[in-house]
A and B are shown apart, each in its own frame.
Chain A
Amino acid sequence: MAGFSKKLAQPYMTQGVNTNMGGAAATLDYDAELMLRVKDGDSGSFGLLLDKHRSSVIHFLFRMVQNHAIAEELAQEVFLRVYRSRATYEPTAKFTTWLFRIATHLALNQLRDGKNERTQERLDDDSDDMPARQVSDRKPSVEQSMVYESKLDEIRRAIAGLPDKQRAAVLMHKYEEMEYSQIAKVLGCSESAVKSLLFRAYETLRARLAHMA
């Protein structure tokens, strides 16, 4: 795999993606088509998939495990598994369903292992290794900054207090705007089970965050 990184500068198609795979492929989403090109040896398409989904996967994992370093480590593993599976990839579902199924599986394993409790970052950790924390107000006063930090802490704790699957369902529903059916495929359960997960999760969150109204 020498020179893999160099290949990323030379995408397979320079004028968009044309598919010559016939009528059966017409229903494939764009990401699935790119993944099929990766299967055929086009490493540039893998770079395109990475560019498109890197942030959403990392942010999802960050909100799940609430540790930036671990989230990026898990995200690396997600994309590594995607790349390893290229030879046997079949577009039986949307690409993002498969991608988030891998991410959710790794996140749930991480939480189950209990490592999160020992390494969960604190809001007052101002280590130089950590990227700058983002808050909604870019130029707050000291008091506003403290209010936002406190609010952020409450939100994090509210999410962390949810059972793992409820947490995953809420994050996919809210931040990835996934439909119930897709969340069900990611979690490997029925659509009605997803609705039940979400309703209970939001009910808990409404109770915990009501004072923020």
Chain B
Amino acid sequence: MRRTLQLAAIGTAAGAFSGLFGVGGGTIIVPLLVFWLAFGEREATGTSMAAIVLIAAYAVVLQATYGNVEPADAALVGVPAIGGAIAGTALQQRLPERAISGLFAVLLVVIAVELIVP
């Protein structure tokens, strides 16, 4: 029960941050799974991906009601990105888990700089 509540809290936080900043929930989900539920890095990133499918789907439905979604643009980045995701997950299996934490820290610093610089 406690675990379910923790997962619910992570989902709510991820949704709130994506509603606030337009960042995908992954930046919040991965560290919370690691630090709060003691997931290993690989498990945290894999599980985050399943959550992101639903979060992004909600957000697209919301955006579509405002008529903002352009499928041709999505395909332009999304089709090559599918190849990138297959390569990225394969590369991840060859890295030590702690290296994934280190790279994630770099990603968060980049996001922080983007937010601070107007």
Q: Do A and B bind each other?
A: no
List residues of B whose CB falls within 8 A of some A CB.
none
